[in-house]
Amino acid sequence: MTLLISELSKTFGQKQAVNHLSFELAKGQTVALLGPNGAGKTTTLRMISGLIKPTSGNIRFDNIKNDEDLRQHIGYLPQYPQFHGWMTGREFLIYVGELSYLSKKEACTRADELLVKTGISEAKNKRISAYSGGMRQRLGIAQAMIHSPKFLLLDEPVSSLDPVGRRDILNLLEELKEETTILFSTHILSDAEEVCDSLIVMNEGRIVEQGTLDSLRDTYQRQVIDLHFKPSAIDIKKALATIEGVTSIHEQKGHLLLEVTHVDVVKADILRRTLSEEWPLDYFSVNKTSLEEMFMEVIERDAI
């Protein structure tokens, strides 16, 4: 089962929030919708969840009739989930379970199962108004999963949490990956990197880059040689620039960062000259540029 999004657009008054967006979400994938604030991530998720209607374009599943209610197959967690504070966590789960056509008995079983899975079973009979932010987020995930949806849409599931809560939710997502297809939005790349296998990068309502984490790394990641020298009379920077294969040299906190085309050749060259010309080298390492830099690069390129 695949979720097919084609030419999806949404305008609010003058503002084009989402602009001809097309992508596919195949069963079993975990995809992050990455982008700065205001990129149209939330609007996209809300359109898929059926909360708002697209201005144009369509959302469908490949093997489901058009007249069927897609909401049966989708679980959605808004960025700031709100509950009936006077209900207990368990009551709320059973309530939304029954709304999703589970029988009372099924809803109870499923609710208890999810309360354990999300780690809030101790508080299940407490009023939701007494829940902390992290507990609300867990309850939010539990309510999204109550009817075992095929697709789980999460809007910034960890952005509002403290580091401990963040860690817990990321671990939970790792577990949920086994059960369902996940599409979640975030503006923090490291969260995306940790949980998902592919990325869709959005900016100003459009997709600016997409692919699996590995393919993005291949495309954007460059190797960098990081060097540090003791102060000396030799103009090493100038000497390094003459080495073949060095494309650029940046200076950062006393370190020289070399972007190179062929690491092995350049590496050998530098080490040979260090020995023969007695360069005062005291630090040498070969690193990779992070995906964070890729993210910045893609967004900046798009802005031009």
According to the binding rule CB under 8 A, does residue 65 interact with other proteins? no
According to the binding rule CB under 8 A, does residue 86 interact with other proteins? yes
Helix (H) or strand (E) holding 289, with range, is: none
According to the binding rule CB under 8 A, does residue 98 interact with other proteins? yes
According to the binding rule CB under 8 A, does residue 133 interact with other proteins? no
Nearest to 259 by CA among 228, 286, 239, 292: 286
| Interface pick for other proteins out of 29, 42, 44, 100 (rule CB under 8 A) | 100
For the record, the structure tokens of 159 come out as 């952005």
| Interface pick for other proteins out of 7, 69, 175, 292 (rule CB under 8 A) | 69
How many other CB atoms are there within 10 angstroms of residue 67's CB atom? 5
According to the binding rule CB under 8 A, does residue 147 interact with other proteins? yes
Angle between helices 89-99 and 104-117 (to 10 degrees): 130
According to the binding rule CB under 8 A, does residue 108 interact with other proteins? no
According to the binding rule CB under 8 A, does residue 84 interact with other proteins? yes
The residue range among 77-85, 193-201, 244-252, 271-279 that interacts with other proteins, by the rule CB under 8 A, is 77-85
The residue range among 67-75, 189-197, 243-251, 287-295 that interacts with other proteins, by the rule CB under 8 A, is 67-75
- Give the whole-angstrom CA distance, residue 100 versus residue 142: 13
- Least distance (Å) between residue 103 CB and other proteins: 8
Q: Which of residues 39-58 bind other proteins (CB under 8 A)?
A: 49-53
Nearest to 6 by CA among 207, 148, 141: 207
- What φ, ψ does residue 295 adopt, rounded to 5°? -60, -50
- Give the whole-angstrom CA distance, residue 66 versus residue 63: 9
With beta carbons less than 8 A apart as the criterion, state whether 280 and 254 touch: no
List beta partners, residue 255. 252
Indicate the burial class of 210 (C-beta count within 10 angstroms; 0-12, 13-18, 19 or more): middle
With beta carbons less than 8 A apart as the criterion, state whether 262 and 290 touch: no
The residue range among 22-30, 76-84, 183-191, 217-225 that interacts with other proteins, by the rule CB under 8 A, is 76-84
- In the complex with other proteins, the residue whose CB is nearer, 84 or 167, is 84
According to the binding rule CB under 8 A, does residue 95 interact with other proteins? yes
According to the binding rule CB under 8 A, does residue 74 interact with other proteins? yes
Nearest to 81 by CA among 146, 26, 37: 146
According to the binding rule CB under 8 A, does residue 71 interact with other proteins? yes
- Least distance (Å) between residue 61 CB and other proteins: 14
**Binding stretches for other proteins (CB under 8 A):** 49-53, 69, 71-72, 74-76, 78, 80-84, 86-87, 91, 95-96, 98-101, 140, 143, 147
